Chain A
Amino acid sequence: MTTSAETPTAAATLKSRHLLGIDGLEADEISLILDTAEAMKEIGGRAIKKVPTLRGRTVVNLFFEPSTRTRTSFEIAEKRLSADTLSIATATSSVTKGESLLDTVRNIEAMSPDMIVMRHSSSGAPHLLARMCRSTIINAGDGMHEHPTQALLDAFTIREHKRRLAGLKIAIVGDLMHSRVLRSNVALLNTMRANVWACAPATLMPSHIAEFGVHATTSVDEAVEGADVVMMLRIQHERMHGHYIPSVREYFTLFGLTPERMRRAAADAIVMHPGPMNRGVEIDSAVADGPFSVILEQVSNGVAVRMAVLYLLSGRDSMDPLDVH
């Protein structure tokens, strides 16, 4: 594994048996996950992209909210680690029959899975499971709360390009109020001592943003000025009608990331987006597909980071060595 000089020392293990959020992770635990992901990324470059690390382990992906990217990423990560995996989406679950979340999960648990990866529209849903169930819970996005593996893959991608997180100016622009990606990224980047700039229309700024430990602004130009990283967040279609934004056109005019605006950023800045993108709404295609963009790298790195998380939470490190080299 390679670690740069600026990278803080990595912990030996994770303290919690769940990954519910970035909140609660120490800097050395974040470094451990990112370092482990570097080793995992190498597996993805092999002709035979599979190691036996989680052979015999069962991982259930429980997605109560539509997701293509995150679910696929977890599934590929699980398969590369040789876990037996099963994905359940809401449309095919008993939730539509009125079964409670706890009953659904307890029924799945009766079949002895080792880990449950869950995406849910309610903030705190994974915390309920962690409290009431036996399995290791990995949060794949809960409501507006956290999306920890997204923040980890973002940090991994930034680290690949910048070799560090501390001291970087990172602008996060978009619907911050409803964004779990924002909350996880702020928690992670603050822990790793980056300078986070949060930019949103006043109507989509989280309340009490002053207490988040970020620079808050409604000016994209100010946020992008000298930025090392510009992270654009999606504007949900349902926010485009009603009270938040007068029109898509006006949003793009005031907040859209254009090549002109990117000229304010650092010369070697990178542009990120967790997807799915609304081209011409929050981001101009010339930027999304341009030289600054690392958007598809984020997707590739997502698999490595999720492999690292699955591995570290599997408890395998106490049994036999990881067969990656």
Chain B
Amino acid sequence: MKLIVKGGRVIDPANGRDGDFDILIDNGVVARIGKDLPVEGASVFEIKRGWIVSPGLIDIHVHLREPGQEHKETIATGTASAIAGGFTAVACMPNTEPVNDHAGITEFILKKATEAGRARVYPIGAVSIGSKGEQLAELGEQKHAGCVAFTDDGRPVATALLMRRALEYAEMLGVPIVNHCEDPSLKGDGVAHEGYVAARLGLRGIPGEAESIMVERDISLAELAGAHVHIAHMSAQQSLRAVRAGKDRGVKVTCEVAPHHFTLTDDSLDGPVKYDTNFKMNPPLRATADRNAMLEGIADGSVDVIATDHAPHHIDEKMVEFDHAPFGIVGLETAVPIVFDRLVHPGRISLTRMIELLSVNPARVLHLPGGRLDDGAPADLTVLAPDLPTTIDAGKLVSKSKNTPFDRWQMVGGVIATIVGGKVVYRNAAID
């Protein structure tokens, strides 16, 4: 079974490759990359002028909700959403029911992912049993079962001592700790960024410092432990300052930013539809200065990864009072258009940097295969169309949940096709 991805610009930053190439795929792996490869015996995927062939995009912050919350998303629907968004692989968070704090649950997730046969799934296990922040989970067993990192996402690792031990232990295993940084006492029962908008709308605020205090703590602890900490969904300018300072002095700290945090601000809560719960996420949409800081950090290289924090919720859960709605929005299918429209086309980043943020670096941070097109590597590819007009239609999202703040947004840039293991698993129906 041979497939040739013919023509088009291939950007493979990890191999320093950027030019018009054909990619021959044989038996699911990259067999050859070259100019004008012979097509005989292979089916042909024709790449049109202007399209880009990238190593498969990887989203390292996704909530697939299975087991336990299948009314929001399943591994099958979540990975269908991933490939529709151009992602060939996702790392899924452990805050399922039960929490993925055990090898058996990791194995279940991987089995379901194989059955679904869409995107690759890399489970991230819980740091502590039940993510309760008390006792370390069996990280070694979980890693053996397939976990690629550990986090108590949704909840921060609240005590410095547990975080220290987790970092030390995970470093021994060669995997990072991913932390949802948020000081629980400063967050309180906050539901929105602590700024003028929340103050006027009477919403309890979460200051940027709730995040940055723990970012600073974790960077110090990573330094102490000589371990790798990855800061999840960074949103506050103070956190970015802390990450830059940590990187400057050589601490193994990496970070990710979600598309909504470099696109939207808390002003959205006071938009045409006030208190729209599709603008409620944690960390919250912050002030313009924070949003702009995230754009800067992405442009100057301080930010390593763009990850969506895809957090599906059922409409019944979101159609309630703002205080009572769960935090989170879906993100897998809106990320690529937003990155093109908000980062690439305005000239903030190059196409190469886009692919680093969405493919090369996610693979590096979690030590995943992928992120590069080596001979013999699994043929995971994303075909992108920078000039494709894309309109987001929440009702038509592939994800089981439709909780997006980007409904009806018109953007330029989209996904043409997603190829996983040499198989075209997604093709944009709007094209031919």
Q: Which residues of A contact B (CB under 8 A)?
A: 23, 100-102, 120-125, 127-128, 131-132, 142-146, 180, 183, 206-209, 211-212
| Given contacts A128-B275, A207-B205, A123 and B200 within 8 Å (CB-CB) | no
A-B contacts, 15 listed (Cβ < 8 Å): A23-B200, A101-B320, A120-B321, A121-B323, A122-B321, A123-B201, A123-B323, A124-B201, A124-B275, A124-B321, A125-B322, A128-B320, A143-B323, A144-B204, A207-B194
- Among B195, B202, B273, B275, find the residue whose CB has the most chain A CB atoms closer than 10 A: B202
CA distance A145 to B192 in the complex (A): 14
Pick the residue among B196, B322, B323 that contacts A211 (CB under 8 A).
B196
**What's the minimum C-beta distance from A182 to chain B, rounded to whole angstroms?**
10
| Given contacts A207-B195, A208-B195, A211-B196, A144 and B202 within 8 Å (CB-CB) | yes
> Does B408 sit within 8 A of A, measured CB to CB?
no
Q: Which residues of B contact A (CB under 8 A)?
A: 194-196, 198-205, 207, 273-275, 316, 319-324
**What's the minimum C-beta distance from B71 to chain A, rounded to whole angstroms?**
15
Pick the residue among A128, A131, A142, A209 that contacts B202 (CB under 8 A).
A142
**What's the minimum C-beta distance from B214 to chain A, rounded to whole angstroms?**
20
**What's the minimum C-beta distance from B314 to chain A, rounded to whole angstroms?**
12
Contacts of A122 in B (CB 8 A): 321-324
| Given contacts A122-B323, A127-B274, A208 and B202 within 8 Å (CB-CB) | no
CA distance A23 to B207 in the complex (A): 25
Contacts of A100 in B (CB 8 A): 316, 319-320
Is B323 touching A212 in the complex (CB atoms < 8 A)? Answer: no
Contacts of B322 in A (CB 8 A): 122-125, 128
Contacts of A146 in B (CB 8 A): 202
**What's the minimum C-beta distance from B215 to chain A, rounded to whole angstroms?**
21
Beyond known contacts A120-B321, A128-B275: 7 more, CB 8 A cutoff? A121-B323, A124-B274, A125-B322, A127-B275, A145-B201, A207-B199, A207-B207
Pick the residue among B199, B203, B320 that contacts A208 (CB under 8 A).
B199
Pick the residue among B202, B205, B207 that contacts A143 (CB under 8 A).
B202
User: In the complex, what residue of chain A is closest to B207 when comparing beta carbons?
Assistant: A207
Q: What 8 A-B pairs come out closest when comparing CB atoms?
A: A124-B275, A145-B202, A144-B202, A122-B321, A123-B202, A208-B196, A122-B323, A211-B196
| Given contacts A180-B202, A208-B196, A212-B200, A123 and B275 within 8 Å (CB-CB) | yes
**What's the minimum C-beta distance from B59 to chain A, rounded to whole angstroms?**
31
User: Do most interface residues of chain A lie in helix, strand or loop, or is the interface mixed?
Assistant: mixed
Is A102 touching B323 in the complex (CB atoms < 8 A)? Answer: no
Contacts of A132 in B (CB 8 A): 319
Contacts of B321 in A (CB 8 A): 101, 120, 122, 124-125, 128
User: In the complex, what residue of chain B is closest to A183 when comparing beta carbons?
Assistant: B202
Contacts of B320 in A (CB 8 A): 100-102, 128
CA distance A127 to B276 in the complex (A): 9
- Among B199, B203, B321, B324, find the residue whose CB has the most chain A CB atoms closer than 10 A: B321
User: In the complex, what residue of chain A is closest to B185 when comparing beta carbons?
Assistant: A243
User: In the complex, what residue of chain A is closest to B275 when comparing beta carbons?
Assistant: A124
**What's the minimum C-beta distance from A44 to chain B, rounded to whole angstroms?**
31
Contacts of B196 in A (CB 8 A): 207-208, 211
Contacts of A124 in B (CB 8 A): 201-203, 274-275, 321-322
| Given contacts A122-B324, A207-B194, A102 and B202 within 8 Å (CB-CB) | no
**What's the minimum C-beta distance from A260 to chain B, rounded to whole angstroms?**
32
CA distance A209 to B316 in the complex (A): 35
CA distance A131 to B319 in the complex (A): 11
CA distance A132 to B275 in the complex (A): 13
**What's the minimum C-beta distance from A282 to chain B, rounded to whole angstroms?**
20
Contacts of A145 in B (CB 8 A): 201-203
User: In the complex, what residue of chain B is closest to A102 when comparing beta carbons?
Assistant: B319
Contacts of B323 in A (CB 8 A): 121-123, 143
CA distance A191 to B319 in the complex (A): 32
CA distance A123 to B270 in the complex (A): 12
Contacts of A211 in B (CB 8 A): 196, 199
Is B316 touching A131 in the complex (CB atoms < 8 A)? Answer: no
Contacts of A144 in B (CB 8 A): 202-204
User: In the complex, what residue of chain A is closest to B269 when comparing beta carbons?
Assistant: A124
Contacts of A143 in B (CB 8 A): 202-203, 323
Is A206 touching B274 in the complex (CB atoms < 8 A)? Answer: no
**What's the minimum C-beta distance from B124 to chain A, rounded to whole angstroms?**
32
CA distance A207 to B319 in the complex (A): 28
**What's the minimum C-beta distance from B81 to chain A, rounded to whole angstroms?**
26
CA distance A124 to B316 in the complex (A): 17
Contacts of A131 in B (CB 8 A): 273
CA distance A180 to B320 in the complex (A): 20
Contacts of A207 in B (CB 8 A): 194-196, 198-199, 205, 207
Contacts of A183 in B (CB 8 A): 200, 202
CA distance A132 to B316 in the complex (A): 13
CA distance A121 to B324 in the complex (A): 11
CA distance A118 to B121 in the complex (A): 47
CA distance A100 to B324 in the complex (A): 10
